[in-house]
């Protein structure tokens, strides 16, 4: 079998997605996700102009060789653009391998270690009561693990709560940012944030008890000593984990947070390789590794990261937001249900337009996600439907401190 064609599809069914479709001379094809939110066309250009010509005529079954060739063969290796492009190719090749074997991806990866993937969704609100109501609503839908975020008094824009021009999607009950021409700016201060978050969890535990699993996403906004204080002050509320407390550059600084607290820590959505993860794994500075399969070179790299993590008793919690496609979500769950050290899976409910363009997303039921037994990833791409939703330039929001200086969103 040889690769005959590499197609790159950019589509915006409510938000932008970049898909790689690899077609073989035997008629089999695979589709992978290469979406890098806010820089989509940089990845599309890397795929079309530089990577696609290198794939034509190759055996699509040699996934590891193609991975190494694209990663090391570029000489200028790594980074978000190249690793996202590589992820799209890698997922498409695994999809082809599954279809050629007549097996779902989880089976190729060693077979099921569990029936479904325990998953979490997001709860946010303008005040503690709104967050509590949101958690109660999600508990009624069967969720067992929930992320809780609350608006911080005196700030403009809080991660995970919703801000800017919002559009209510009637199909999935979700909200999406409109595709503004330029990034919106939010204002955030650590003082009010650090005072508010422990109070939020005091409220939630008081109202909802200890049975449910709750956690919080810092979104890389704190300094090491601020994160240490927050982790320590959250200890009485027994979080499932504290997500992304520090910037991705600050790997050694996790020692400061770790020494201060027994609150479990999760990190990794901004990492691009197993080498980014290494110090946190080998020093056991975190409890959950949460890379984004679409930004680390795909399934091939995720399997290796999971295996390294397993040796250090660290579980996985792969990134699963709405800005990666159903193909990436399916890849997440195929890995989740085939490894021994799976922890939890982030999920979103996609709107109808996304299902129309990319059918086959994992199915949610009573707190768990399930993938189909169809060969490969179990997802597909409707190219005709994709054309109905042309690309729209969009950016993630940006954040500044009250004095106007740049901060991390």
Binding mask 288-307 for Mg ion (x = CB under 5 A): --------------------
360, β-bridge pairs: none
Nearest approach, Cβ of residue 382 and Mg ion (Å): 29
Task: Check if the beta carbon of residue 347 is closer than 8 Å to that of residue 399.
Answer: no
Q: Does 33 bind Mg ion (CB under 5 A)?
A: no
| Composition of the chain by helix, strand, coil, percent to 5 | 35, 20, 45
Span of 51-59, 210-218, 248-256, 296-304 interacting with Mg ion by CB under 5 A = 210-218
Nearer to Mg ion, 21 or 329 (CB): 329
Contact range with Mg ion by CB under 5 A, out of 148-156, 215-223, 271-279, 401-409:
215-223
Q: What is the H or E stretch that residue 22 is in?
A: strand 17-24
Rounded to a whole number of angstroms, the minimum distance from the CB of residue 321 to Mg ion is 7
Catalytic one among 122, 203, 216, 219? Answer: 219
Catalytic hit among 29, 106, 120, 159? 159
Q: Cβ(328)–Cβ(33) under 8 Å?
A: yes
Q: Is 323 in the site for Mg ion (CB under 5 A)?
A: no
Identity of the residue, 61 or 321, whose beta carbon is nearer to Mg ion in the bound complex: 321
C-alpha to C-alpha distance for 144 and 121, rounded to whole angstroms: 9
Q: Does residue 132 belong to the site contacting Mg ion (CB under 5 A)?
A: no
Q: Between 29 and 120, whose beta carbon lies closer to Mg ion?
A: 120
Number of residues that bind Mg ion (CB under 5 A): 1
Smallest separation, CB 174 to Mg ion (Å)? 16
Report the distance separating Cα 234 and Cα 214, nearest Å: 11
C-alpha 80, offset from chain centre: 13
In the block, residue with structure tokens 């050694």: 252
Tell me how far, at minimum, the Cβ of 231 lies from Mg ion, in Å: 16
What is the rounded CA–CA span in Å between residue 303 and residue 90?
12
How many angstroms separate the CA atoms of 10 and 383, rounded? 10
Residue 395 among the catalytic residues: no
For 71, the enclosing helix (H) or strand (E) is: helix 63-73
Residue number with the smallest Cβ distance to Mg ion: 217
Pick between residue 217 and residue 380 the one whose CB is nearest to Mg ion.
217
Nearer to Mg ion, 217 or 336 (CB): 217
Least Cβ distance, residue 218 to Mg ion (angstroms): 9
Side-by-side strand order, sheet with 185-187:
185-187, 398-400, 406-407
- Kindly tell me which residue out of 186, 217, 233, 323 binds Mg ion, with binding defined by CB under 5 A: 217
Residue closer to Mg ion by CB (options 244, 380) is 244
The reply on whether position 220 binds Mg ion by CB under 5 A is: no
Of 121-129, 160-168, 214-222, 377-385: span binding Mg ion (CB under 5 A): 214-222
The sign one gets for the Cα dihedral 286, 255, 218, 145 is positive
Cα–Cα dist 313/291, whole Å: 16
β-pairing verdict for 398-400 and 175-177: unpaired
Catalytic status, residue 120:
no
Applying CB under 5 A, the residues found at the interface with Mg ion are 217
Catalytic site positions:
159, 219
């Amino acid at each position: 079998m040889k690769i005959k064609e590499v197609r790159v599809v950019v589509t915006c069914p409510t938000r932008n997605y970049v898909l790689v479709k690899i077609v073989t001379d035997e008629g089999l094809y695979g589709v992978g996700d290469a979406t890098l939110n806010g820089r989509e066309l940089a990845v599309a250009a890397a795929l079309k102009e530089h990577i696609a010509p290198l794939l034509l005529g190759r055996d699509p079954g040699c996934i590891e060789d193609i991975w190494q060739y694209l990663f090391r063969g570029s000489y200028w290796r790594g980074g978000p653009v190249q690793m996202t492009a590589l992820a799209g190719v890698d997922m498409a090749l695994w999809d082809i391998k599954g279809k050629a074997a007549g097996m779902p991806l989880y089976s190729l990866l060693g077979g099921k270690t569990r029936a479904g993937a325990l998953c979490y969704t997001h709860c946010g609100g303008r005040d503690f009561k709104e967050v509590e109501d949101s958690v109660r609503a999600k508990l009624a839908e069967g969720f067992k693990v929930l992320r809780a975020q609350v608006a911080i008094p005196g700030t403009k824009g809080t991660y995970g709560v919703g801000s800017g021009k919002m559009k209510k999607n009637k199909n999935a009950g979700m909200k999406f940012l409109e595709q503004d021409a330029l990034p919106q700016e939010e204002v955030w201060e650590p003082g009010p944030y650090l005072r508010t978050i422990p109070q939020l969890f005091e409220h939630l535990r008081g109202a909802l008890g200890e049975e449910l699993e709750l956690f919080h996403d810092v979104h890389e906004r704190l300094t090491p000593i601020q994160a240490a204080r927050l982790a320590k002050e959250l200890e009485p509320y027994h979080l499932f984990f504290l997500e992304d407390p520090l910037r991705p550059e600050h790997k050694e600084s996790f020692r400061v947070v770790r020494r201060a607290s027994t609150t479990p820590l999760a990190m990794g959505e901004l990492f691009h390789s197993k080498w980014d993860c290494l110090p946190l794994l080998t020093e056991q500075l975190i409890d959950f590794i949460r890379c984004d399969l679409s930004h680390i070179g795909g399934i091939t790299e995720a399997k290796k990261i999971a295996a390294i993590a397993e040796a250090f008793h660290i579980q996985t919690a792969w990134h699963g937001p709405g800005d990666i496609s159903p193909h990436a979500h399916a890849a997440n769950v195929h890995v989740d249900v085939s490894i021994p050290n799976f922890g939890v899976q982030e999920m979103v409910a996609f709107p109808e337009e996304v299902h129309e363009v990319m059918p086959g997303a994992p199915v949610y039921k009573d707190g768990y996600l399930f993938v189909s037994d169809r060969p490969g990833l179990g997802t597909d791409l409707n190219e005709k439907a994709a054309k109905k939703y042309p690309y729209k330039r969009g950016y993630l929001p940006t954040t500044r401190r009250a004095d106007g200086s740049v901060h991390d969103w």
